[in-house]
Structure 1
Amino acid sequence: MKFQNITYSIPWNLFLITLGSIIVGAGLKAVVIPHGMITGGFSGAGILLFYYTKLLTPGIWYLILNIPVFILGWLFISRRFLFYSLYGTIVLTLAIDFIGFELPVKDLMLATLAGGVIVGAGAGIVFRSLGSAGGNDIISVILNQKFGIRIGTYNFGFNFILFIFSFGSLDTDLILYSMAMSFITSQVIEYFMTLFNQRKMIFIISNNPRQITDEIMKKLKRGATFIKGEGAYTGKGKDIILTVANNFQIKRIEEIAFGIDPDAFLITENTFNVLGKGFSKRKVY
């Protein structure tokens, strides 16, 4: 079975959601809550309600906040994404409430870094799946699909309001540390999202485009497209090769291109996300 097929199997997605949710729960219970901080999103809202009321637990508050979200989700998003997200919400709730250890860190700056990295790593793993851990992920998808509101815009607005409300119960220093931790979390999530997804888009200008393309397709099993071009100086028409490859295939493509045509011109660009045959499939919400 190809790895691409494995990544869309139910066991693989349940594994990612379980692992990521447990890591997020560990970050919240072992670092964030013991230091009196909050995160962004619904998990942060649940923690803040726990601080305000001293009732129930952060995990139970998180679960309660998600109930109306899943009712909306049932109406507007795919069943697959919804059920995966429901599973993630339950796992995260249990992780928050049943993980019992604390990271022995006293310095708030170190706790901010540790909390941001741990929570971000866990959330990043969950985002690699076909589901989520509930909360803001579901609402942001609905708003994006129905009203065209960008996911980042909604999340920023929600977290801004959340931190404003937190001034009523948290020390100002803790709020600022929490904001810094949320920024670190977002950067770590971004890293995990691109860790295995980054591809290289390669343009090759050569007098032997057909020969180079044949070798790329034969040796690397990668497709290619000819783009009609024209030399600015010579005015002669040329077929420019466009192909997409992973990081490990770049050197092979360079060897093929320059081995056939030492005068070839090769341009490589980073791409964030490539969808289609041989690469990632679209995540359906």
Structure 2
Amino acid sequence: MLHTTKRIIFIILGAILAALALEFFLVPNNVIDGGIVGISIIVSHLFDLPLGIFLFLLNLPFFLFGYKQIGKTFALSTLLGVTIFSLGTTYFHHFEPFTKDLLLSAVFGGMLLGVGIGLVLRYGGSLDGTEIVAIILTKKLPLSVGQIVMIANIFILGSAGFVFGWESAMYSLIAYFIAFKVIDITIEGLEETRSVWIISDQAKEIGDALMNRLGRGVTYLKGEGAYTGDDKQVIFCIATRLEEAKLKTIVEELDSEAFLAIGHIYDVRGGRFKKKDIH
């Protein structure tokens, strides 16, 4: 129950922040975002109708797709987020924008929009159906989700040039890029967690050094070289972006020939991820 309440609160908060970004920064200055949000802004401008109507109606088909493809929890979270998002833009539309400066609007609007969308995504919903479509299209096209979203957004942001002028389109690109990066930060957190895999003949020494010098717990896994058939000991641990350089230094000092793989991960739960004190 507590988990569900927390999810609802943060989805509502994220949707409100996204609505504030549109109505206080982006829309009054003819700066748009990508995806369904961008299409909604363009269509709202062309037909001179409230933005909230199109945000809800254009996302509705993707809500139904999401229900079938991803699940009930995602669909209901998305419906809640999109509803609050749509109502929020309608309510905030009556207020004066914070600034008329295009650059400030793109930067701060993009940041606020990124935080809002990122919160909704982090807690299991969505404010834009573009990625849902991309997931479905990847089954029929030789393209990744990211490539399909990028192609769609290039077309949408390019369309803004014909509707609002090319200067607005360029500022829209700035807002989109900032929102894109802030979404990642909001989902991952400022520390940007990394997963680390190390294969070395000095696995025990490296593992001890990571625990004692970096303060991170490690797990030893047993592996086998496919080519040689030799037994290999694999070290797995979790670290943050700020610890990455020190981790590489430790591994290099103890075994310059060690295999090291570092990957981005979005969430870590359970286990003993919390860093212990180093004395």
TM over 0.5: yes
Counterpart-to-counterpart distance in 2, 1:187 and 1:248: 16
Q: State percent identity of aligned pairs.
A: 22
> Cα–Cα, structure 1 residues 275 and 94, in superposed 2: closer, same or farther, change >3 Å?
closer
Counterpart-to-counterpart distance in 1, 2:188 and 2:31: 28
Q: Which moved more, 1:179-188 or 1:242-251?
A: 242-251
1:273 aligns to 2:265 (yes or no): yes
Within a 5 Å distance, the mapping from 1:171-186 to structure 2 comes to: 171-186=165-180
Counterpart-to-counterpart distance in 1, 2:234 and 2:242: 16
> Cα–Cα, structure 1 residues 63 and 153, in superposed 2: closer, same or farther, change >3 Å?
same
8 Å Cα contact 1:17/1:133 also seen in 2: no
Q: Provide the residue aligned with 2:277 in structure 1.
A: none
Query: Alignment length, in residue pairs?
Result: 254
1:34 to 28, 31, 39: 28
SS at match of 2:125: coil
8 Å Cα contact 1:112/1:181 also seen in 2: yes
8 Å Cα contact 1:207/1:238 also seen in 2: no
Residues 39-82 of structure 1: per-residue CA shift (max 9 Å, x gap): 11111111111111112x10111111122223333443322211
2:164 to 170, 174, 177: 170
Counterpart-to-counterpart distance in 1, 2:30 and 2:177: 17
Shift of 1:269: 5.4
Q: Provide the residue aligned with 2:188 in structure 1.
A: 194
Counterpart-to-counterpart distance in 1, 2:27 and 2:4: 32
SS at match of 1:131: coil
- 5+ residue gaps, structure 2, are 272-279
Q: Provide the residue aligned with 1:115 in structure 2.
A: 109
SS at match of 1:38: coil
Counterpart-to-counterpart distance in 2, 1:241 and 1:71: 44
Within a 5 Å distance, the mapping from 1:26-65 to structure 2 comes to: 26-55=20-49, 57-65=50-58
> Cα–Cα, structure 1 residues 121 and 200, in superposed 2: closer, same or farther, change >3 Å?
same
SS at match of 2:219: coil
1:90 aligns to 2:83 (yes or no): yes
8 Å Cα contact 1:88/1:134 also seen in 2: no
> Cα–Cα, structure 1 residues 189 and 38, in superposed 2: closer, same or farther, change >3 Å?
same
Counterpart-to-counterpart distance in 2, 1:94 and 1:269: 46
**What is the TM-score of this pair, normalised by structure 2?**
0.75
- 5+ residue gaps, structure 1, are 1-5, 230-236, 280-285
Q: Provide the residue aligned with 2:134 in structure 1.
A: 140
Q: Provide the residue aligned with 1:66 in structure 2.
A: 59
Within a 5 Å distance, the mapping from 1:224-235 to structure 2 comes to: 224-227=220-223
**What is the TM-score of this pair, normalised by structure 1?**
0.73
Q: Which moved more, 1:17-26 or 1:153-162?
A: 153-162
Counterpart-to-counterpart distance in 2, 1:211 and 1:31: 50
- Cα RMSD over matched residues? 3.5
> Cα–Cα, structure 1 residues 179 and 276, in superposed 2: closer, same or farther, change >3 Å?
closer
